[in-house]
Structure formats: structure tokens, C-alpha cells
Amino acid sequence: MSNKSSEQAFPKDQQQSLPGSQQEQKPRPEVLPRDYPNGKLAGKVAVITGADSGIGQAVAILFAKEGADVVVSYLCEDEDANMTKQHVESYDQRCVLVASDLSQESNCKDLIDKAISEFGKIDILVNNAALQIEQESLTDISTEQFDKTMHTNFYPHFWLSKFALPHMKAGSSIINTTSITAYRGVAYLMDYASTKGAILSFTRALATNLTTEKKGIRVNGVAPGPIWTPLIVASFTPDEIEKFGLDNPMGRAGQPNEVAPAYLYLASDDASYVTGQVIHVNGGEIIGG
């Protein structure tokens, strides 16, 4: 994978008359499509949290299809996690399953250590695991619930990035899962939306920091809209489930495999000039940011 230098200077003595000739430019612009004969992520190692189901599972499978070995972190859903492993291995890629509660800092360190012991490197970190608990009023959200949501959704982004960075080289990528709720809020998911806003700011700040330090490591995010995952049936009422996604501009919820390609783009060299950005996969909602 190429890593374009940010210090490139173009020869200044080459002015032309409009509209300009590409043939006379020095150097000529690179316009040919990149070639990935063995997959866009061939030889890469990805750590993906919450990859037993939903978006994380779809990302792990797509990454494997494009040549990556994956470390799959999940909480306790062994059956779903084993399904991820089967799909990954069907593409002749390795899949290491790690059942762990990432709301604990020590477990985050252990996950990164496990990835290094198995593969010797980390090229891609996808911070994706999350939970949500509906509450009608702010006064219904206990400090215990707020802490649990924050420690599950946001703290692992900080801890895993911190522990992974010493093992990542130029060209590596961190991808964080924020949410449409970080931009427009959801009345009954105030603590969840708060964590997703924190993830958004963390993504931009870390990207700026690593760019300033010229590490060559990119940091971006994906902000899904309504996506049909187990988190929905585990946290919404039956009436909400029945109507889930119907008020979207496209009139439906999205599927995990419709979100996963955004992660693939950000993980691959196709996005070599992209950092500090968020891709919105939300079925057509027009939002700021």
C-alpha cells in the first residue's frame, strides 16, 4: 500500500494557459484505478469490536472477503460469534474470537495484546461495540445507567486506540462507529446520543493529532442511521420495532451489509487522503457536519 507524502512539493515553473494540459504537468496526476489483485485488504490484520452480529459482523466478513485476517471481540453471544468465524474462514482468512467486556480497561489491553500475540501487528482498528437503553425522561436515567453506557460505548474507543497505536504503522486506519444520533439527537436515547457525540469529537481530535505528528495513521468514523441489528430488538418496544425505519426518507431501515462497505473504503488505500471525516449511511437524512 502506498503512503503519499504530505511533504510533496510540485515544481513551480510550469504555468499553463487555460484550460491546461495534463500531459505537460510535472508530475502527471495519477488517474488510473488502483489495482488490488488479492483484495483491498490483502495481508492486513483488523481488530473489530462488537463483531459477533449486526454491523460489526458484516464488516468482519467483508474485510475477510477482501483479504484481511480479523480479531473479533464480542461480549457473550457465542453462537453469533461462531457464525462470524465460519464466514471469515470461508474466505480462507483467520478469525480469532475474543469474548470480553470492553467496559474494563484491562480487557481492552488484553484484546490488543491478544491480536499482537496472534498476528504480530494491527493494521485496522474498528471500534464498534455499543449498547442503548431507552428512557422517556432525563430523570429516569440513573448515574449507574449513564456510567454503563459511557463505559461501554465511549471508553473502549479511547482505551483500544491508545493501546493499539504503538503497534500501528503509517498507512494504518482507525474507524470509529458514531451515529446519526450524534447529529440530531433522539429523545429517548440521551445517554446513548451523548456517547456517540463524544466518539465524533474524539475521532476528529485524534485524526488531527496524528496528522500533526505525521504518524501516517488515519482516523475516521461511520455514522449509521436506522440499521436492522440485534440492538434494536433488544432495546425497543414491539410497536417501535414494527415501525423501525419507516419514517426514514427511503422508507425503510438499512441492513448491516449496506453499512459495511463504508468501513471497507475507510480501511483501504482508496481512502489514503481521508482522515478526520465521517461517512453517513442513513437512508437519505440530510444533516449538518
Active site residue 155: no
Set 155, 183, 192, 263: catalytic member: 192
- Which residue carries 488505500 as its cell? 269
Residue 19: cis peptide before it, omega within 30 degrees of 0? yes
Angle at 100 between CA 85 and CA 109, to 5 degrees: 110
Beta-strand ranges (E) seen in the chain are 45-49, 69-74, 95-99, 124-127, 173-177, 218-224, 278-281
Closest CA to 40 of 71, 72, 68: 68
Locate 266 and state its grid cell. Answer: 475507510
Inter-CA distances, 225 with 39, 135, 228, 233, 249, Å:
28, 19, 10, 16, 11
Are 249 and 283 spatial neighbours (Cβ–Cβ below 8 Å)? Answer: yes
Active site residues: 192
